[in-house]
Structure 1
Amino acid sequence: MAVPSAQEFHWQSLARLSSGRVYHSLAEAGGQLYVVGGCDEAGRPINALDLYSPEVDQWVGLPPMPTPRAGAAVAVLGKQMLVVGGVGKDQRPLKAVEMYNTEEGKWRKRSSLREAAMGISITAKDGRAFAAGGMGADLLPRSILQQYDLRKDVWALLPSMPTPRYDTNTCLLGSKIYVAGGRQCKRCVKSFEVFDMESRSWATLPSLPCKRSYSGVTWDSDGRFHWLGGLRQGGLHQRSKFTNNTNIFDTQHGFWLKSEDTVSMKTKRADFACAVLRGRVIVAGGLGYQPSVMDSVEAFHPEKRKWERLAPMTTPRCSASSIVIRDRLLVVGGVNQIPSSAHEILYVKDEEIL
């Protein structure tokens, strides 16, 4: 399939959320978009569950979660949506685990985590969810890797990660779980590790090239990890700096591409939405050296080997949640001085939109 040109990408504003939202979680189940929890405009975790209905371009409020939470980890296991940890109304980590049945429209409480945690990263395969790391109630990072079995409603401990961390990035490729970066207290970590489910063992991969926070992370169809932009941590008496660096790790061969084999983004930015869409890496919005949040969008063309500007988002924002469903990038909520209710979709013009 040919890679679309920059002119073929278009944004459309869709129905807005009922209120501004940030630190919410997005999930796709059965090709439909769900928005789980988050913080409201007053910064309070909420228990809302919303479904976007493309036929009428409306949000439908579904039965609320038993536990209000923000920053929850969400895994979809067939018709079930598993909601794990996060931050509760008292601004402390949660151990509560709840599951929503998308066919029955009902919530059920499930076996809790061993301890309360926020900043968990989760991935799923074959009726099992794998939860990595997290920050405990003592604000210390965890090295725990645990597996949830849907049929048995049981959490089982797997061998711990070599590096404790939270807010890490995980990806399941075949029988391997890749865990990249994350944080320890306020410090970024460069650790990159992989867990082999068959041998039940961890291996250490070459570290991330530098310490950056609020980066964009995507995995392409060739199993390559793209680590984009972010805020580069300053040293003693040095300010952190926005960067446009692009680093790519080849999981098939186990190395980072050399700098001459990668191309930096046009704009230095952090805390932006990003995804791989129709063979192109897309970055949208975020924060940079501009005085306000950004609306600019760019996409990497793999054959031309350059970043190209796309049409800007209608609503500038950072900290937005995003997801790709049916070759469309949906960007929901975020912050533009206050939490935003914006919902926009990026699509290729030769296709019908949602």
Structure 2
Amino acid sequence: MKIIVFTRFRLILQIIFFFTLINSTIMADSWEKKADMPMPRYRHKSVEVNGKIYVIGGYNIGVTKRVQVYDPATDTWLDKTSMPVEMSNFSICAIDEKIYVIKGSIDAVCDLYEYDALTDIWTKKADLPTARRDHEACSLDEKIYVIGGSSNAGVLKIVEIYDPRTDKWIKGKDMLSPKTQMAVESANGKIYTMGGLDGNLLLSGIVEEFDPNTGLWRERVSIPRPRYNLATCVLEDRVYVIGGMVQGKKDWENVGTVEEYNPSQNRWSLKATMPTPRSKHSACSAGTNIYVFGGVGENWEQDPLSTVEKYNPWPSAISPKDDLPATWGNIKK
């Protein structure tokens, strides 16, 4: 009798251990290195169209207008037609097969250019009404929201909305507080601004949410680790905040911290740290993965990075189609 009880108890423990192992393996997130960018750069932007990622503009030796396309399926790079002008400190977003690039400038007009990924052609569009730099943009309901940034007047909370169908701009509802060098994303039918610098150029962890149905902004739970010059992207309606600059003990420091924001639960989760700490980089989702491009590393006074790293949020070690082993301890198939 004792032997039967012991055997059953051991069997239960094996089953618990087995499924705990499967669960922890499936839920583990991870990073891996991919093919370097042909041209190192920082303060560039990246955006996904039809499964490929377009890396645009930024700084190398000087400001560049170069456009390069990364194919996640083959881990290869291809050059495309350069922008009409060099750009850094700009914003970008995509609607269908079109990419919209909004130039940053505090003392001149902010050009808007449309790139057709199917024809590889750039077209000049209506200028952004308010000249500024270090603004951010996102698309929502087939329109482009350009938010925040800085000008000669200081840090801005201005929102301006562009309609590609009419090539016209309208004034949007201002953010609750001014921000620059922050992140902007649309997820779950709403817009989120995160981190950056506030009106006094102090580090901010504030998260604001804009609801187009009410036309109102409201504050949400702040970023656990405030930073600026960060990169963000959206995957499965969750916002991933990746890397950036934080205030260290003596000076600014670049970090590899990754945090995931769930808008529906208004909750943050800490994820696997990016191998290369960096800031002034870009991030973009394609398929079920996230890709991080370039920027500057731990010593942010050194040359820009060409490093590309891929983040796997939900790698699965065991496929549902795979058979279990014929025997596993006392468990039989």
Same fold (TM over 0.5): yes
Select which of 102, 107, 117 maps to 2:132. Answer: 117
**TM-score of the superposition, structure 1-length normalised?**
0.68
> How do residues 269-348 of structure 1 correspond to structure 2 at under 5 angstroms?
281-287=271-277, 319-336=280-297, 337-346=302-311, 348=315
Q: Determine whether 1:28 maps to 2:18.
A: no
Q: 1:249 Cα shift? A: 6.3
Secondary structure in structure 1 of the residue aligned to 2:191:
strand
Q: Is contact 1:93–1:118 with CA below 8 Å preserved after alignment?
A: no
**1:69, distance to aligned residue in structure 2 (A):** 0.4
Are positions 1:19 and 2:39 aligned together? yes
Query: Is 1:85 the counterpart of 2:100 in the alignment?
Result: no
The correspondence for 1:126, drawn from 141, 150, 153, is 141
**Alignment length (residue pairs):** 290
Unaligned 5+ runs, structure 2: 1-21, 319-333
For structure 1, the residue ranges without an aligned partner over 5 or more in a row are 264-280, 288-316
- Residue 161 of structure 2: which of 147, 151, 173 is its match? 147
- Write the distance in 2 (CA, Å) between the matches of 1:125 and 1:8: 29
The Cα shift of 1:188 comes to 1.8
Match of 1:299 in 2: none
Partner of 2:331: none
Give the CA deviation at 1:334: 2.5
The 1:25/1:202 distance shift into structure 2, 3 A limit, reads same
Q: Relative to 1, partners in 2 of residues 1:17 and 1:213: Cα closer, same or farther, differing over 3 Å? A: closer
1:193 aligns with 2:208: yes
- Which residues of 2 match residues 60-71 of structure 1 at below 5 A? 60-71=78-89
- Aligned-partner residue type, residue 70 of structure 2: Y
Q: One-letter code of the match for 1:163?
A: S
What is the RMSD computed on CA atoms of the aligned residues? 3.8
Q: Deviations over 1:285-341 (max 9, x none)?
A: 354xxxxxxxxxxxxxxxxxxxxxxxxxxxxx6544232212233232233531122
Q: TM-score scaled by structure 2?
A: 0.71
Query: Does the 8 Å CA contact 1:178/1:193 hold for their aligned counterparts?
Result: yes
Find out whether 1:106 has 2:121 as its counterpart. Answer: yes
Alpha-carbon distance, 1:34 to partner: 0.7
Report the CA distance between 1:26 and its aligned residue.
0.7
Which of 202, 206, 211 is equivalent to 2:217?
A: 202
Cα distance in 2 between the residues matched to 1:47 and 1:68: 4
Cα contact 2:232–2:283 (8 A) shared by 1: no
Q: Which has the larger radius of gyration?
A: 2
Q: For 1:51 and 1:208, how far apart are their aligned partners in 2? A: 31
Q: Report SS of the residue matched to 2:210.
A: strand
**Distance between the aligned counterparts of 2:94 and 2:237, measured in 1?**
23
Q: Cα offset for 1:35?
A: 0.6
Residue in 2 that maps onto 1:52:
70
Q: 1:109 and 1:204, CA in 2 relative to 1: closer, same or farther beyond 3 A?
A: same
Paired-residue identity, %: 19
Post-superposition offset of 1:240 = 6.3
Secondary structure of the residue aligned to 1:202 is strand
User: CA–CA distance in 2 between the matches of 1:7 and 1:169?
Assistant: 26
56-65 or 225-234, larger mean C-alpha shift? 225-234
Cα drift, residue 115 of structure 1: 2.3
Distance (whole Å) between structure 2 residues aligned to residue 66 and residue 224 of structure 1: 31
